[in-house]
């Protein structure tokens, strides 16, 4: 199993980190050196600029999440990195809770799953 986060779309909501039963995700500092350490292709790695459509959708939402904050404070903020994709059991919990619809999972047969926020 391979898992990555399309970083420009990550709001920092931390839902993926909170629901994953096998600790695939860690919330990292957006300005840290380890922000691009999952298998995300170059075009969706973090280069310091968020996807403007996602910013427009989520930046004003008053849902208790610190959207697009640089660092995680133990609840929200920062950016998600799939540090342990090999452990994914495809429970799909993260796929329906990802605000940015930016999680991509590829199973061992090559099937690709994209997150869709519900
Ligand atoms: S689908 Fe995989 S990465 Fe997502 S929550 Fe389940 S085990 Fe974790
Ligand atoms: S659920 Fe999606 S938007 Fe929220 S922190 Fe995880 S990858 Fe980012």
Structure confidence by residue, pLDDT tens digits, 47-83: 999 999 999 999 999 999 999 999 999 999 999 999 9
Confidence at residue 36, expressed as pLDDT on a 0 to 100 scale:
98
Q: pLDDT band for position 13 (50/70/90)?
A: very high
Residue 16 CA to ligand 1 centre (angstroms): 8
Ligand 2 binding pocket includes 12 (Cβ within 6 Å):
yes
Average pLDDT, stretch 7-23? 98
Number of other CB atoms surrounding residue 31 within 10 Å: 12
Is any atom of ligand 1 closer than 6 Å to the C-beta of 91? yes
**Minimal-distance CA residue to ligand 1 atom 8:** 20
> Closest residue (by CA) to atom 2 of ligand 2?
98
Q: How many CA atoms lie within 13 A of 105 on its CB side?
A: 24
Residue 118 has pLDDT above 90, yes or no: no
Ligand 1 centroid distance, CA of 70 (Å): 24
Report the DSSP pairing between strands 25-28 and 2-5.
unpaired
Q: pLDDT band at residue 106, thresholds of 50, 70 and 90? A: very high
pLDDT at 41 over 90: yes
Check residue 40 and report its DSSP letter.
Answer: -
CA atoms of 36 and 42, how far apart (whole Å): 9
Q: Whose CA is nearest to atom 4 of ligand 1?
A: 94
Assessment of whether the complete model's pTM goes beyond 0.95 = yes
pLDDT in tens, 80-91: 999 999 999 999
* Spacing, Cα 56 to ligand 1 middle (Å): 27
Measured CA to CA, the distance from residue 35 to residue 29 in angstroms comes to: 7
Protein residue closest via CA to atom 3 of ligand 1: 88
């Amino acid at each position: 199993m391979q898992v990555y986060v399309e970083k420009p779309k990550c709001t920092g909501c931390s839902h993926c980190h909170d629901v994953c039963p096998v600790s695939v995700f860690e919330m990292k500092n957006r300005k840290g050196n380890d922000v691009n350490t999952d298998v995300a292709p170059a075009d969706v790695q973090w280069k310091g600029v968020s996807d403007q459509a996602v910013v427009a959708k989520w930046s004003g939402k008053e849902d208790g999440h610190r959207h697009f904050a640089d660092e995680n404070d133990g609840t929200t903020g920062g950016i998600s990195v799939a540090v342990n994709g090999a452990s994914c059991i495809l429970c799909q919990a993260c796929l329906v809770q990802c605000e940015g619809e930016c999680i991509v999972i590829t199973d061992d047969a090559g099937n690709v799953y994209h997150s869709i926020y519900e």
